[in-house]
Amino acid sequence: MKILIVEDEPAMVELLRYNLESEGFDVVSAHDGEEGLLALEEEQPDLLLLDWMLPGVSGIEICRRVRRDAKQAGLPVIMITARGEEQDRVRGLDVGADDYVSKPFSPAELLARIRALLRRRNPDVGAEKLKVSDVELDLVAYRVRRGDRELHLGPTEFKLLRYFMERAGRVLTRDQLLDGVWGQNVYVEDRTVDVHIRRLRKALNEAGESDLIRTVRAVGYCFERA
């Protein structure tokens, strides 16, 4: 899961980055509003941590724009602020933030809120079994079924399918798949993604079932919910 931090205090960014990365999240950051809006487009994060007081475009304004943008409307947003007043809390939630933490806050509290929010948005995150359409992926037993049929996947196809299922219904770019499945510091060619998608499709659709992986021309792939 990728988290975008938009925050102008470098020390706060580093504290958040350290805590989130130790919990296994991928972290990207922006230090002002304009950069934040750009990063939202380019990075397509799974959750946004947004500082209220930013130079340039404010956190409130970013939140408003996120909620107006059809592509990002479902993005979970947590506002971070130095102001603890009830009135500001209400205003933050008014413009569409899902949750709110006031500085100073404990990293443990923030992590708990992040997890709760991600679970609320996608109950499958952190679960032992994922189920989308007629595909069931068991993360403990390491087994995959489509309907009554057991699928035999290689380790990369298994990771790829898991990544897709946790983000079902979202269009994922090749870059997102590369970062999410192979890791950010690994050099893999774009066409490697296509090779593994082809293998995954073959295993999934072996019995002539409908293709659950939709190719979105010039963008990437989407795992269909139904």
Nearer Cβ to Ca ion, position 53 or 213?
53
Binding residues (CB under 5 A) for Ca ion: these are 8, 51, 53
Closest CB to Ca ion among residues 36, 220: 36
Q: For the CB of residue 53, give the shortest distance to Ca ion in the complex, in Å.
A: 4
**What residues form DSSP beta bridges with 79?**
50, 100
**10 vs 147, which CB is nearer to Ca ion?**
10
Q: Nearest distance from residue 72's CB to Ca ion, in Å?
A: 22
| Comparison of 58 and 156: residue with beta carbon closer to Ca ion | 58
User: Coil, strand, or helix at residue 191?
Assistant: helix
User: What DSSP string describes 60-90?
Assistant: HHHHHHHHH-TTTTT--EEEEES---HHHHH
Residue nearest to Ca ion (CB): 53
> Of the candidates 111, 103, 101, which has an alpha carbon nearest to the alpha carbon of residue 19?
111
Q: Residue 216: how many CB atoms within 10 A of its CB?
A: 11
Least distance CB 8 / Ca ion (angstroms)? 5
Side-chain half-sphere of 46: how many Cα atoms within 13 Å?
23
Minimum CB distance to Ca ion, residue 36 (Å): 12
